[in-house]
Amino acid sequence: MVTTADVKSRHFGGLDALRAIAALCIVEFHAVGIYARGSAPDAWTHDWVARLDVGVPIFFLLSAFLLYRPFVRSRVADTSPHVRRYAWRRVLRIYPGYWVALVFAVLALNLSGVLNLRHLLLLQSYWSDTVATGLPQAWTLCIEVAFYAFLPLWAWVVRRTNAPELPALGVLFVLSIAYKAIVLNTALGAHVGAVDPWIIALPAYWDTFAMGMGLAVISTRRPIPGHPVAWWLAAAALFVLSAKGAGLAHPSPAGFTHGQVWVRHYLYTAIAFCALAGTLTGPGPLETRPLRALGRISYGIYLYHLTVLGLLGKWDLASLEDTIHPYLLWSVFAIAGTLILATASWFGVERPALSLRGERRLSG
C-alpha cells in the first residue's frame, strides 16, 4: 500500500533538464529549420530538423504528469484537491511572462493588431486568421490553458464516479481518436496545415495528455518500470523512424495528408512518452547542472526565441552566411539572444509572479 508520505517523497530530478531539451529542440526547429533553411526540401538535414518540433508533445506530457499527480495524490489520500490554488498558480505561471513577451514582440517587430482579448487571454488559436499571429508559437499555450481548465473537471468526474484512473484515461484516449477522425473526415480537406485550428484544439491532444496523466497515476503507486537507457534508446529509435521511415519527409506545400497527421501525432506522442518515462525511472545523462538551469528558464526560451529570430532577420544576420555556416550562425545567435531575454524574463517577471503564490519553485 502506498502512503501519502511515500507518494510525496519521490523526486524526479531530471524533469527540468527534459524541459530544457524540449525548448532547445523548438529553438533549433525554427533557427536551423526555417531561418537557416535546414528543413528546405533539398537540405540534407531536412528529415532530421523538421522533426525537432517533437519538443511540443514533450512539454504537453510534462504538464500532464506534473499537474495531474496532485489530483491523484489527493484521491489516494482521500483529501480534497486545492482547485482555487491550482488555478491561481496556473494563471501566475503562464500569463505574466506571456504578456511581457507579447508586448516586447509588438515593440521589437512592429506588430499590430495583436494586443486584444484573443491574444491576451490565449484564445487566438481558435480562429484561422489569428492562430499564427502575435507570438506564433503561442498556439501551444492556448492548448495548455485549455488543458489547465479541463484537468480539475476531469479529476472531479473520475473521482465522483469512482472510476479507475487508468481505464478512464483509456476512454479519454479513445475520445481523442474519435475527435480527430471526425474533424479529418468532415471539417478538413485532403491536406491539413500543422496549426489548423481544428487539429490543434484540446480534444486532438487528449490522448497525448492522457499518456502523461497515466505516468502520473502509475508513479503515485509504484516506480515507473524499466531502465532509463532502455527508454531513451526507444525514444531515439522512434525519432529515427519519424525522420526516415514513417513517410513524413517532404509533405505537400498544402500540408500533411490525413495519414501523415495520424503517423506524426502518435510517433511524436510515443517519443515524448519514452523520453518522460526514461527521465522518471532514475538518474540519467540529462541530469546535469547546465540543463537544469536551462530548464528553469525554458518558458522564457520558448516565449522569446521567435522574436529573437525575427530581430536577427531584421538586422540582416544572413549577410554573414558567407563567413559562418548558416546552421551554426543562426543557432549561436538565436540561442545566445534567447538566453539573455529568457534569463531576464525569469528573474524580472516569472519568479516575482510565482512568489505571489507563496513559492518560487517551478511546478508545471
Q: What pLDDT, on a 0 to 100 scale, did the predictor assign at position 284?
A: 66
Instruction: Identify whether the C-beta of residue 184 lies closer than 8 Å to the C-beta of residue 192.
Output: yes
Expressed in percent and rounded to 5, the helix, strand and coil fractions of the chain are 70, 0, 30
Look up residue 255 and give its DSSP letter.
B
CA distances from 281 to 99, 120, 222, 298 (A): 36, 38, 11, 22
Q: State residue 10's pLDDT score.
A: 53
Question: Hey, CA dihedral for 270, 271, 277, 278, is it positive or negative?
Answer: positive
* Amino acid present at 357: R
Local structure of 285: helix, strand or coil: coil
- Residue 68 has a pLDDT of 97
CB 36 within 8 A of CB 309: no
The amino acid present at 20, given as its one-letter code, is A
Q: How far is CA 311 from CA 106, 136, 277, 322, in A?
A: 12, 15, 37, 20
pLDDT at 245: 84
Number of residues that make up the chain: 364
pLDDT of residue 286: 72
| pTM of the entire predicted model | 0.93
Burial of 186 (0-12, 13-18, 19+ CB in 10 A): exposed
Per-residue pLDDT of the chain (364 residues; tens, 9 = 90+): 333 333 344 557 789 999 999 999 999 999 999 999 999 888 999 999 999 999 999 999 999 999 999 999 999 998 989 999 999 999 999 999 999 999 999 999 999 999 999 999 999 999 999 999 999 999 999 999 999 999 999 999 999 999 999 999 999 999 999 999 999 999 999 999 989 999 999 999 999 999 999 999 999 988 999 999 999 999 999 999 999 988 888 777 888 999 999 999 999 999 999 999 999 997 666 778 899 999 999 999 999 999 999 999 999 999 999 999 999 999 999 999 999 999 999 999 999 999 987 544 433 4
